[in-house]
Amino acid sequence: MTGSPRLLDGKRCGDALKTEIATQAAAVKAVRGRAPHLAAVLVGNDGASKTYVEAKVKACGSVGFRSSLIRLPETITEDELLARVRSLNADPELDGFIVQLPLPAHIDADRILQAIDPKKDVDGFHPQNVGNMVLGLPGFLPATPSGICELLKFYHIETAGKHCVVVGRSNIVGTPISILLSRNAYPGNCTVTLAHSRTKDLPSITRQADILVVAIGKPGFITGDVVKEGAVVVDVGIHRIPDASKKSGFRLEGDVDHPSVRGRCSAITPVPGGVGPMTITSLLMNTLKAAR
Ligand code: GUN
């Protein structure tokens, strides 16, 4: 490719969607007498998780939602956390809530996610919401895959008939985005290949991708030599790389090696400012939906 790729700017897209969310939140408040209310549960002291949860809570304020940040100690037992989930399920003042992942190793995350009331599961992680997504039935879509779809829509990226390669099969991103992009919808109607750690000759697969979604959790994993000329690249990764030249002591990098990929692709999501802000916007969209 000659020239720079188009930047799929998640901040710009997210801000546009947030303006609409704020209008609708005000309408909900006028009818019900209270604003949509999201709670976020954060267990332990992981720095990255704390940053993400605080960003989610701050975003609520920007669209006129009420928010609650519930911080719980690393030492909480699974039963104690289950009891908190049940009390949030029963709280009539709360429209939706999330439990930030990962949870400490002594807690079975599946058990916690399955205890969340599907009607308040604005992360879309409960099996009932996952099943509805697979079947194309109404429910909450998981925030990151849904945010990627909104971003593709905002930039009018053509998807029908394209070969989409998803790298990474997590429950949060890889598996659901592979399902959403293969559905008979827009964005969708892709032919999807879901690649993972046991995929043989991954470069031969990624080089076939018209749309490449990378959610493998390894900084700089996808380099320019494995990307098809003109591909649309969605970088879901976000890693803190120690960097003494930064005031914070770290810089943020994705799963894609942007310097080498930029010259080959036609469009790419930046890191930061690409998928991250879209995840938060989708969470707000789900919370608005729950409030209605
Ligand atoms: N950890 C990483 N991404 C997410 C997310 O979208 N929701 C929650 N709850 N935890 C996460």
- Give the ligand 1 atom nearest the CA of 101: 10
Facing residues of 197 across strands? none
Per the rule left: phi > 0, alpha: psi between -120 and 50, beta: everything else, 178 is alpha
Tell me whether residue 56 is one of the annotated catalytic residues.
yes
Residue among 77, 142, 141 at smallest CA distance from 111? 77
Q: Which residue lies with its CA nearest to atom 2 of ligand 1?
A: 101
Q: Which two structure tokens, joined as six digits, stand for 267?
A: 């469009």
Is CATH 3.40.50.720 the right assignment for the domain spanning 142-275?
yes
Query: Measured in angstroms, how far is the CA atom of residue 101 from the centroid of ligand 1?
Result: 5
DSSP 142: P
Q: Which two structure tokens, joined as six digits, stand for 186?
A: 């827009």
Query: Measured in angstroms, how far is the CA atom of residue 161 from the centroid of ligand 1?
Result: 30
Query: Measured in angstroms, how far is the CA atom of residue 263 from the centroid of ligand 1?
Result: 31
List the domain boundaries for the chain. Answer: 33-118, 142-275
33-118 CATH, one of 1.10.10.60, 3.40.50.10860, 3.40.190.10, 3.30.300.30: 3.40.50.10860
The single residue of 18, 56, 162, 228 carrying the catalytic annotation is: 56
pLDDT of residue 134: 97
Q: Which residue lies with its CA nearest to atom 9 of ligand 1?
A: 100
Distance CA 285, CA 209 (A): 29
CB atoms within 10 A of CB 157: 20
Query: Measured in angstroms, how far is the CA atom of residue 29 from the centroid of ligand 1?
Result: 27
Residue among 179, 220, 174 at smallest CA distance from 199? 174
Tell me whether residue 100 is one of the annotated catalytic residues.
yes
- Give the ligand 1 atom nearest the CA of 142: 6
DSSP 189: -
Q: How far is residue 187 from each of residues 63, 64, 262, 269, measured CA to CA in Å?
A: 26, 29, 23, 16
Distance CA 166, CA 206 (A): 8
Residue among 129, 116, 220, 227 at smallest CA distance from 179? 129
Query: Measured in angstroms, how far is the CA atom of residue 278 from the centroid of ligand 1?
Result: 13
pLDDT of residue 185: 96
The DSSP bridge pattern shows strands 250-253 and 239-242 to be antiparallel
pLDDT of residue 3: 76
Tell me whether residue 123 is one of the annotated catalytic residues.
yes
- Give the ligand 1 atom nearest the CA of 99: 9
Topology match between the domains 33-118 and 142-275: yes
- Give the ligand 1 atom nearest the CA of 40: 9
Distance CA 9, CA 151 (A): 8
The DSSP bridge pattern shows strands 163-167 and 232-235 to be unpaired
Query: What phi and psi values does residue 32 have, to the nearest 5 degrees?
Result: -95, -15
pLDDT tens by residue, 229-250? 999 999 999 999 999 999 989 9
The binding-site residues of ligand 1, defined as CB within 6 angstroms of any ligand atom, are 98-101, 123, 143-144, 172, 279
Walking along the chain (292 residues) 10 residues at a time, the average pLDDT comes out as 87 98 98 97 94 96 98 98 98 98 97 98 98 97 98 98 98 98 98 98 98 98 98 96 93 97 98 97 98 95
